[in-house]
Amino acid sequence: MGKIAFVFPGQGAQAVGMGKDAYDASPAARAVFERADAALGFALSRIIFEGPEDKLRQTENTQPALLTVSAALLELIAGRVRPDYVAGHSLGEYSALVAAGVLSFEDAVRAVRLRGEFMEAAVPGGQGAMAAVLGAERGALQALCEAVSAETGLVVLANVNCPGQIVVSGTAEGVRAVVERGKEAGAKRVIPLEVSGPFHSPLMQPAADRLEQVLAELTMRDAKVPVIANVTAEPVTSAEEIRGLLKRQVTAPVLWEDTVTRLVGLGVDTFVEIGSGSVLTGLIRKTDKSVTVHTVNSLAALDAALAELAP
């Protein structure tokens, strides 16, 4: 076996009831949920397990909820399997930083709660939008976004997820124009997304500025294992460099396809997705079919992964 990367999902992977089997069966996992409730001062775990779904979907709840579930499942695998690298998709980068020892879990869960609040408040409702573009080549879509930005309204690449799947973000007018003109970039389909704001676009600058103040006060340690940063798709271990990258991440595109390609280039042949859902597993397989991917989103999935990774 080559090298192993732990990867952590971001917003969109949430589901009511996620992590409940780990909470019920494992005192170590249950302790993580209890630590989240204590750190935030309210019963986040109740929202995770009972919903309602629209409350879990609120960005300021979604972000700490997903981090908590990833951290609880990480608690169950970390002593058995050691990663050579870690990475996370957008919000998931904070889970990766907990895994790498950069942030304490409590600091991370409080930070992403505020991050969610800041992102929610950055742009008035209805003024921003996002859309998934399927089948377009990155360069052609970039050119279309630049043309639309000049003619209609700002729109940028926000999530470069895998070949043929890129999310754009920006003004409602700009995104609408990309939905209408997507075929010019070779898109087979362009699907407007139900999101509360134009994430990973320059319109999020107010959120980035507010988050910078929070990040400045956090205790960060150099990473024990390299983190592949969303913003650069390059390994980083310096706490101070990570602090700056986390601010930039709010307005910059998530280079997930590049992250996977970089990890493969660094010798990773086994990816372990830790957290709710299996979104990253699909994106990784579409980026490089040669690698092995394990999805750890339940106790049964954990047992299956450990049977192969730590027999």
Q: Which of 200, 201, 276, 294 is catalytic?
A: 200
pLDDT tens track for 166-191: 999 999 999 999 999 999 999 999 99
CB 56 within 8 A of CB 14: yes
CA distance 202 to 256: 19
- Mean pLDDT by runs of 10 across the 311 residues of the chain is 94 96 97 98 98 95 98 96 98 98 98 96 94 98 98 98 98 97 97 92 98 98 98 98 98 98 98 98 98 98 95 73
Give the per-residue pLDDT at 305: 97
Q: CB count, 10 Å around CB of 307?
A: 10
Q: Which domains does the chain have, with CATH numbers?
A: 3-122+203-309 (3.40.366.10), 128-195 (3.30.70.250)
CB 65 within 8 A of CB 56: yes
Give the per-residue pLDDT at 310: 85
* Phi and psi torsions of 108, nearest 5°: -65, -45
Predicted TM-score (pTM) of this structure: 0.97
Query: Which of 45, 32, 94, 79 lies closest to 223 in space, CA to CA?
Result: 94
User: Is 200 part of the annotated catalytic residue set?
Assistant: yes
Q: Which of 45, 70, 89, 90 is catalytic?
A: 90
* Phi and psi torsions of 275, nearest 5°: 145, -170
pLDDT tens track for 121-154: 999 988 999 999 999 999 999 999 999 999 999 9
Give the per-residue pLDDT at 194: 87
Give the per-residue pLDDT at 125: 87
Give the per-residue pLDDT at 311: 73
The arrangement of strands across the sheet holding 3-8 comes to 235-236, 227-228, 85-88, 3-8, 268-274, 292-296
Give the per-residue pLDDT at 229: 98
User: Is 90 part of the annotated catalytic residue set?
Assistant: yes
Give the per-residue pLDDT at 110: 98
Give the per-residue pLDDT at 195: 86
